[in-house]
Amino acid sequence: MAIKFGRPIEARARLTPVETGLPADADRLDLPTRMRRNRRSEWARRLVRENVLTTDDLIWPLFVMDGENARQPIASMPGVERLSVDQAVREATRAAQLTIPCIALFPYTDPSLRDETGSEALNPDNLVCRAIRAIKKEVPEIGILCDVALDPFTSHGHDGLLRDGEILNDETVAVLTRQAIVQAQAGCDIIAPSDMMDGRVGAIRKALDAANFTDVSIMAYAAKYASAFYGPFRDAVGSAKTLTGDKRSYQMDPGNTDEALREVALDIEEGADMIMVKPGLPYLDIVARVKDAFGMPTFAYQVSGEYAMIMAAAQNGWLDGERAMTESLIAFKRAGADGVLTYFAPRVAEKLKQR
Ligand code: PBG
C-alpha cells in the first residue's frame, strides 16, 4: 500500500539486525511504519488527535411547560425534564456558565390549547415566546433557537395543516411564516423550520426581511428523515398519543441519500444560513456528504431516541454511559459537523470543563 505523504515505503533503507547492532530477533517484523507509536501515551494521542469536541459545538434543547418553579421528568428521556419558564431561565444561566453558545426551546403546550390548525403557535404570548423573553432578559449573551412547525400546537400532532388526511403544503407555509415572525418578535435569534414543507425557508426569509428582521438567522432542518428515533421527543412535547398516522408524506425516506443533497441545495438557495441533518448517528453518512458538497455551517441533531438508547443501556449497566456519550459526540465532528444539538449538552460541557 502506498502512503500518501512522505517517501514511498519501498525507498526506505531496510536495516538488518546486524547493522542496527541489535541482537537478531526472529520474531521482530521489519516494519518501517508502526501505527501504534502515535498511540503509546496520552500526550502522543492528544498531539495527533484530528478532531476535538468543545463546548462551542453544543446546542442544548430544552422543553418548557406552564407553571412556576416546576420540573417534570420525561420517562423515556432519563435525566431530561420539562421546565417551567423560571426553571428554563435557570438552566439557560447554567448553559451560559458552561459556555454553551446556544439553546433550543420546545414547548409542551397544554392540551386545552391545541386545535386543528395549531393556532396557539401564532399567539405572541405563548409559552415559547414567554420563555424567549424571560431568557433574553436574564441571559442576553446566549443564542436562542426555536423550531418552526405546528406539531406541539395541533390536536392531530402533525407539523402542518391537515385536510382530508393530507398535509397541505402552501397553506402550511403561510402559517409557518407567521409563526416565525411571532418568534422573532419575542427575540428568537435562529428560526429553525423543522416541518419539511416545500418552499418554507424562502417564504420565511422573505417575511423576516419584510418585517425588518434581517439579522434573524435560519437554520433549516434541511434533511430530516421520517424516523422512529423521535419517539421520546413526542412524549416530551405531548404529541405521541395524539399523532394520527405518520409523517412520511413530508419527512424523508430513510433509504435516500441523493435526495438529501437536493433538499439541502434548495434550502441554501432559499436563504438558509445553517443547515441541519436529523437524526444524527444513524445518518452520519448524510452529514459527511452534505458538508463535503456544500461547505455550509452544518449541524446534526442527536435526537431523543439516540439519547434514550445510550441512557437505557447505561442504566442497565450494559455500557459506560459517559464514554458512550463522548464517543457518540466526537463521531459528529469526525463526520464534518460544525455542531450538535444534543440532550447531553450540559453533561458533556461539565466534563469538558473539568479537563
Ligand atoms: C417537530 C420536531 C421533532 C423533533 C424536533 N422537532 C419531532 C418530529 O418531527 O416528529 C425531534 C427531536 C428529537 O427527537 O429529539 N417537528
241 is catalytic: no
What is the atom index within ligand 1 of the atom nearest the CA of 194?
A: 16
Report yes or no on 12 lying in a domain.
no
Residue 6 has pLDDT above 70, yes or no: no
Burial zone of 342 (CB within 10 Å; 0-12 exposed, 13-18 middle, 19+ buried): buried
Mean pLDDT along residues 262-289:
98
4 is catalytic: no
Residue 91 has pLDDT above 90, yes or no: yes
Return the pLDDT at 65.
98
**Euclidean distance between CA atoms 199 and 196, whole angstroms:** 9
Q: What does the longest C-alpha to C-alpha distance in the chain come to?
A: 86
Residue 290 has pLDDT above 50, yes or no: yes
Assign 159 a pLDDT band (cuts: 50, 70, 90): very high
Nearest one of 271, 268, 269, 299 to 286, comparing CA atoms = 299
**Residue pLDDT, tens place only, 315-350:** 999 999 999 999 999 999 999 999 999 999 999 999
What is the atom index within ligand 1 of the atom nearest the CA of 195?
A: 16
| Cis peptide bond prior to 23, omega within 30° of 0 | no
Q: What residues have CB less than 8 Å from 79, skipping those under 6 apart? A: 311, 343, 347
Catalytic residue among 4, 137, 247, 278: 278
Q: Give backbone dihedrals phi and psi of 80, rounded to 5 degrees, phi first.
A: -110, 135
Report yes or no on 164 lying in a domain.
yes
Return the pLDDT at 324.
98
Which set of grid coordinates corresponds to residue 34? 508502526
Q: What residues have CB less than 8 Å from 112, skipping those under 6 apart? A: none
The number of distinct structural domains making up the chain is 1
Report yes or no on 64 lying in a domain.
no
Q: Give the residue whose CA is nearest to atom 6 of ligand 1.
A: 194
**Residue pLDDT, tens place only, 10-26:** 544 555 555 666 666 78
Where do runs of H (alpha helix) occur along the chain?
A: 17-20, 42-48, 85-97, 127-138, 169-186, 200-210, 231-237, 258-269, 284-294, 304-315, 321-335, 345-354
Which helix (H) or strand (E) element contains residue 167?
strand 166-168
DSSP states along 99-110: T--EEEEEE---
Q: Give, for ligand 1, the residue of 62, 80, 145, 303 to mutate: max count of ligand atoms closer than 8 Å to Cβ.
A: 303
Kindly give the distance from the C-alpha atom of residue 233 to the centroid of ligand 1, in angstroms, as a whole number.
Answer: 6
Q: Is the C-alpha dihedral spanning 325, 303, 338, 145 positive or negative?
A: negative
Beta bridge partners of 143: 102
Q: Give the residue whose CA is nearest to atom 14 of ligand 1.
A: 230
**CATH number of the domain encompassing residue 324:** 3.20.20.70
Kindly give the distance from the C-alpha atom of residue 125 to the centroid of ligand 1, in angstroms, as a whole number.
Answer: 22
SS3 193: strand
Report yes or no on 188 lying in a domain.
yes
- Average pLDDT of the chain, as a whole number: 94
SS3 253: coil
High-pLDDT (> 90) share of the chain, %: 90
Report yes or no on 105 lying in a domain.
yes
R_g of the chain, CA atoms, integer Å: 24
User: Domain limits at 337?
Assistant: 70-354
Question: What are the b/e assignments for 272-286, b being 16+ CB within 10 Å?
Answer: bbbbbbbbbbebbeb
Helix, strand, coil % (nearest 5) of the chain? 45, 20, 40
Report yes or no on 110 lying in a domain.
yes
Report yes or no on 32 lying in a domain.
no
Return the pLDDT at 267.
98
Q: Give, for ligand 1, the residue of 233, 241, 283 to mutate: max count of ligand atoms closer than 8 Å to Cβ.
A: 233
291, amino acid identity = K
Assign 1 a pLDDT band (cuts: 50, 70, 90): very low
Return the pLDDT at 19.
62
Report yes or no on 37 lying in a domain.
no
Kindly give the distance from the C-alpha atom of residue 55 to the centroid of ligand 1, in angstroms, as a whole number.
Answer: 23
**Residue pLDDT, tens place only, 169-194:** 999 999 999 999 999 999 999 999 99
User: Which residues lie with the beta carbon below 6 Å from any ligand 1 atom?
Assistant: 147, 149, 151, 159, 194, 230, 233-234, 247, 303-304
Q: Give, for ligand 1, the residue of 225, 230, 247 to mutate: max count of ligand atoms closer than 8 Å to Cβ.
A: 230
What is the atom index within ligand 1 of the atom nearest the CA of 341?
A: 15
Which set of grid coordinates corresponds to residue 353? 470543563
SS3 73: strand
Residue 225 near residue 254, CB atoms below 8 Å: yes
**Residue pLDDT, tens place only, 22-73:** 666 789 999 999 999 999 999 999 999 999 999 999 999 999 999 999 999 9
Return the pLDDT at 26.
82
Q: Classify residue 316 as left (phi > 0), alpha (psi -120 to 50) or beta.
A: alpha
